[in-house]
Amino acid sequence: MFLAGTSASLAIAASAASAARKGADLVNLSASEAIEGMRKGEFTAEAYATALLDQVSRLQDLNAFRTLRPDEVKAAAREADRRRTAGQPLGLLHG
């Protein structure tokens, strides 16, 4: 039992670390790299938006945004993902 529990814990920790790395990697992409990655299906617009919102949250002391609506950002990203999956056209800069 101990080994099974340990293995499961390690798998969960590795998955969380991998997700954190992916989020950190996403925020370092240029706009064109992000668009290309989403078009290729390497990550979703929602994952990209979440990574950027997490970065904004970590740096909120900079007061870089007067208004930020995370729920609207995520909803727009989900809609872009839905449209991309359905094969509907998106704008050139649409993530």
List, in order, residues 6 or more apart from 37 with CB less than 8 Å away.
29, 43, 48
95: nearest Cα among 53, 34, 54, 10: 34
Phi, psi of 59 (to 5 degrees): -110, 25
Q: What is the pLDDT of residues 47-64, one digit of tens each?
A: 999 999 999 999 988 888
Q: Is the pTM of this model over 0.75?
A: no
Question: Which three-class secondary structure string do you get for the chain?
Answer: CHHHHHHHHHHHHHHHHHHHHHHHHHHCCCHHHHHHHHHHCCCCHHHHHHHHHHHHHHCHHHCCCCCCCHHHHHHHHHHHHHHHHCCCCCCCCCC
pLDDT tens across the length of the chain (95 residues): 544 554 444 344 444 444 444 677 999 999 999 999 999 999 999 999 999 999 999 998 888 888 999 999 999 999 999 999 999 998 877 75
